[in-house]
Amino acid sequence: MVPPLIPRQVLFGNPERFSPQVSPGGQHLTYIAPDDRNILQVWICPLSGSKPGPARCLTSDPKRGIRSYFWTYQANRLIYLQDMDGDENFHLYLVDIGTNEVRDITPFEGVRAQMVALESSVPDVILVGLNKRDPRQHDVYRIHLITGQVELDTENPGSVIAWTADSRLQVRAALSSRPDGGTDLWQRRSSEAPWQTIIQWDPDDQGAPVHFSEDGRTLYLLGSHGVNAQRLLAREADTGQEKVLAEDPEYDVSAVLVHPARHVIQAVAFYRDKMQWQALDPEIAPDLERLATAHPGEMTISRQDLRDQLWLVAYAVDNGPVTYYLYDRLMRELTFLFSQRPALEKYGLAWIDPITLPARDGLTLHGYLTLPVGLPAKNLPTVLLVHGGPWGRDHWGFNTMAQWLANRGYAVLQVNFRGSTGYGKKFLNAGNREWAGKMHDDLIDGVRWLIQKEIADPKRVAIMGASFGGYATLVGLTFTPDVFCCGVDIVGPSNLITLIQTIPPYWGPLKAIFARRVGIVEQDEAFIKSRSPLFFVDRIVVPLLIAQGANDPRVKRAESDQIVEAMRKNGKPVEYLVYADEGHGFARPANRRHFYGRAEAFLAKYLGGRVEPEDDIQGHSAEVR
C-alpha cells in the first residue's frame, strides 16, 4: 500500500527540537527549537538528576535562526554563532542565561570567527580564530568573557589551517599546508617556544592533531602515514614515539570521544556502512554496550558534563526521525528527551539499504539505496542524489531529501564515488584530477547497476545534488546527456576556473589541495576548462532547474548566472531560482519550502512522481528568473 504524501512543511520546516547539550556542571539542558515566530532559538531548562524541568527561550535571533552553539565553562554563559544572510562571516554571541543578555564578542565587520578551544581550567577565556589582521588567514585571539577584551595570542605565519590547544589553553599544535598539497604538523613545548615540524604528510596522506593529554606530554592525532586509512595515534612529545590506539585497514577513524576533564581518549568510531564504536577506556566499555543494545539506531554521543556522568546520546534510524536521550552513567539509566521531528512518526518512511557495487575499473564502491514504500522495486523513476564536498560522504540514517523523494515515488541512489572520504587514502586519492572523469564514471556505473537490476527505468532517471552534487548534475547533463531525463542543481559551480579564482580569501592555504585534486589554473587551464560544464551547454538536451543563494561565499552567484545565460543563448531549457538572503544552501524554512515545492513540481513533470500542490508560502526571498 502506497503511504500518504508527507507534507513538505513536515519534511522541510524547522525541526521541533534538536542539538541538545548538558551544561558543564550538569544543572541545565539546552537545545534548539523554534520560537513563536518560527525562528530557531536556544532554549534552556533545569535538570534534576536526569529529569528536565520547564523550558524557556533564551535567545531572540531576529531572522535567520540559530544552528550552532556551545556552553562555556562559566556556569551562566553560552555562545552561539550567526552570520548575515549566509555570508559565513560568523560572529560569536555570548548569552547570559540568567538575564538573557546577548553580547557580540567578535563585533568585526567582514571577519569570520572560528572556535579554537575552551577549557575548564581557564573558564573566563576562550580561544578564537579571527581573520581580522589578514582576511586570508586566521590568527588565534584570547577573548576574556567577563571584560570582552580581545587580544592576539598566536599569529598565523600564513599557512596554518587548524590550531590545537592544551589543557591550560596554550596553543601547542598546528596543521600547516604546503605548496605541494601536503601538510605539516607543528608542535611547541609552550606558547613562547618556537614551532618544530614533527610530521610531514605527503600530498597523498591525511592527518590532523586531535587533542593533548592532561599533562600536555602526549599529543593524540589522526594520520595515514605508513598505512591506508587514518588511525588514531598517541605521540610522546619528548621522544616522538608513536603508539597506535585504534585502526582499521579500510576505514578512517571518524569520531573520537574525549573525557571532558581528564583529557583521556575514551572511544573511537569507524563509519563503515554505519557508525560503530570501539571503547579504548575500560571504564566506559559497559556504557557503550548498554547504549548499543538499548536502541536499534546508530548511536552518537554528543556532549558530556565535566563529571562525565551525564551523556547526551542521539540515535539515528533510517525510517524515522533522530531521537535524543540523556544517559546517567552512575545509574545506568537512559531517559528519553525528545524526537527531532515527531510529526514524521505517523508516516510510513522508507528503509535505506547499504549497497556495494563494482566500478568499471574494478574499484569497489559503497552507497545507499532508498526504495519507495508500497511500490514494486521494478522500473521505478529514479533520482541519483549526489553528495557535496566532494571530500565528504553519504551516511546511513534519516535523510530528509531521500525520504521526500521516496515518498513521491522515486528510487533514490546515493553513491560514495572515488574521492569521497572515510574509506582510506587510496580511495580518496583515486579521485585526484577526476572531476567529471572517473568520479562521474562511478555515478554512471551506479545508475547502470540499478538499471541492470531492473529497479530503475532507464528513461526516467534524474540527477540532483548540492554544491559538488550540483556540479555533478551539470556534468551529468553535459558529459552524459543520454543518461538523464532532467537535473536539479543546488549551488553548484559551472566553471572550475572561476570557482578556484573566487574561493573565500581564508581558503587561501587550501588552494594547494585544489591544485592537487582539481588542477592548477595557471598551468592546467585547458584541462580544467575541459572538466567545466559551462563550456558544454550545447550538449544539454533535457530540462534543468538551478537554485542559488545570492550571498554564497563558496560558490558565487556568478557560477549559476553564467550557465543560465549560456543556456538561454543556446535555447536550452532552464528554470532559475535565486534566494536573496541565503548563502551556500537554504537555512530559512520559507525558502526551503519554496525551493522544494518548485523542485517537486519539476521532478513530477519529467519523472512522473507524486506531487503535493504548491502552498502559499509567506516570507520566501526567491527571485524566479
Which grid cell sits at 224? 595515514
Question: Are the CB atoms for 71 and 118 separated by under 8 Å?
Answer: no
138, 440, 584, 594: the catalytic one is 584
Give the whole-angstrom CA distance, residue 151 versus residue 171.
14
Those residues whose C-beta lies under 8 Å from the C-beta of residue 80, and which sit 6 or more positions away, are 42, 59, 61, 66, 68, 69, 92, 93, 95
Give the whole-angstrom CA distance, residue 93 versus residue 104.
4
Which grid cell sits at 384? 541519483
The torsion defined by the Cα of 613, 616, 618 and 622, in degrees rounded to 10, comes to 60
Question: Cα angle at 320 between 464 and 375, to 5 degrees?
Answer: 60
How far does the chain reach from its first CA to its final CA, in angstroms? 39
E-only strand ranges, 250-360: 253-258, 265-271, 275-279, 298-304, 310-316, 323-328, 333-339, 352-358
Those residues whose C-beta lies under 8 Å from the C-beta of residue 140, and which sit 6 or more positions away, are 116, 127, 128, 129, 152, 153, 154, 156, 163, 171
Question: Are the CB atoms for 97 and 144 separated by under 8 Å?
Answer: no
Give the whole-angstrom CA distance, residue 470 versus residue 386.
8
Q: Is 153 a catalytic residue?
A: no
Q: Is 584 a catalytic residue?
A: yes
What φ, ψ does residue 406 adopt, rounded to 5°? -65, -40
Residue 182 CA, chain-centre distance (Å), reads 23
Burial zone of 30 (CB within 10 Å; 0-12 exposed, 13-18 middle, 19+ buried): buried
Q: What is the DSSP letter of 511?
A: H
Q: Is 2 helix (H, G, I), strand (E, B) or coil?
A: coil
467, 494, 532, 560: the catalytic one is 467
Q: Is 565 helix (H, G, I), strand (E, B) or coil?
A: helix
552, 560, 581, 594: the catalytic one is 552
- Other Cβ atoms less than 10 A from the Cβ of 510: the count is 14
Q: Is 467 a catalytic residue?
A: yes
Residue numbers annotated as active site: 467, 552, 584
